[in-house]
Amino acid sequence: MPIGNQKPKVGIFGLTGCAGDQLQVLNCEDELLRLAERMDIVDWVMARSQNDHNARLDVAFVEGVVATQRDLQNLRTIRGRSKVLVAIGTCAVWGGLPAMRNEIPREVLEKEVYKSDRPFLDTVEARPATDFVPFDLMLPGCPIERHEFLRVANALLVGTTPEFFKTPVCWECKTKENLCRVVHCNEVCCGAMTRSGCGARCPSHGVACSGCRGPAEETNYDANITMFKDRKISWVEIARKMENFSAPVWMKMGLEEEEVRGGR
């Protein structure tokens, strides 16, 4: 993916979210300093006091969901300024935890938090940034993995397209020889349906996967349904757990509770 500049101009931005993905970029520490010698980070409000908000960008990284009209305007402006746009974090790619709020009417939530006086709010349904403008690369994770961010940045610097794991978390879990949380503990573990790249962090610490990296590609849902059903774990329980981090996707897939309650 050529970006055609000896020292590319880069921007890093956050929409609505916890800013955890930007923090992970900061946490790259020494590697980030080395990257900063090869790229010109001109617009990053979290890390710099002086920013160029109008510069044309070779690469922009965006985290978060579109949850306000201002988010959408900002996102469209960033897309218009950038040659290559990279979504960082599960919120930007799949909707993440902020999209859970869509289950409750916004008016109810706004009243609960701000009481009656809330004319400044311009909220919209919380949806992943990738629903609104074209992205060139998507890097899920809640938060992202530092090694994956560095791989993307280094690949872009040499003009190639980074490759990511397409296997589910179970694959990484098996290579670590962990005890399976489903088979041995009858727990609801989302590893078989979740995109790998985290090194199966949770099962490696004795905790079931919550699906924070979003759906894996080409998941065999029928086999999963049978596997969980054999252990008296309903598909509804699995779907509800996966929905925590990728609700908009599951809604699109039609895996809402009513639909799976019957035969599954």
Q: Which is nearer to ligand SF4, 76 or 231 (CB)?
A: 231
Q: What are phi and psi of 161, to 5 degrees?
A: -105, 125
Q: What are phi and psi of 36, to 5 degrees?
A: -65, -20
Q: Which is nearer to ligand SF4, 209 or 255 (CB)?
A: 209
The DSSP element (H or E) to which 34 belongs, if any, is helix 30-38
Q: Is 235 in the site for ligand SF4 (CB under 6 A)?
A: no
Smallest separation, CB 189 to ligand SF4 (Å): 3
Question: Cα 215 from chain centroid?
Answer: 10
Smallest separation, CB 202 to ligand SF4 (Å): 3
Evaluate whether 212 touches 167 at the Cβ level (below 8 Å).
Answer: no
Q: Which of 137, 182, 193, 238 touches ligand SF4 (CB under 6 A)? A: 182
Span interacting with ligand SF4, options 62-70, 115-123, 153-161, 181-189, rule CB under 6 A:
181-189
The residues, any chain, with a CB within 8 Å of residue 57's CB and separated by 6 or more, are 9, 10, 11, 42, 43, 78, 81, 82, 83
Evaluate whether 41 touches 48 at the Cβ level (below 8 Å).
Answer: yes
Question: Cα 10 from chain centroid?
Answer: 20
Q: Is 170 in the site for ligand SF4 (CB under 6 A)?
A: yes
Evaluate whether 156 touches 59 at the Cβ level (below 8 Å).
Answer: yes
Pairing of strands 57-63, 82-88: parallel
Q: Is 41 in the site for ligand SF4 (CB under 6 A)?
A: no
Q: Which is nearer to ligand SF4, 135 or 245 (CB)?
A: 245
Give residues 183-222 in contact with ligand SF4 (rule: CB under 6 A): 189, 191-192, 194, 198, 200-203, 209-210, 212-213
Q: Is 90 in the site for ligand SF4 (CB under 6 A)?
A: no
Q: Which residues bind ligand SF4 (CB under 6 A)?
A: 169-170, 173-174, 178, 180-182, 189, 191-192, 194, 198, 200-203, 209-210, 212-213
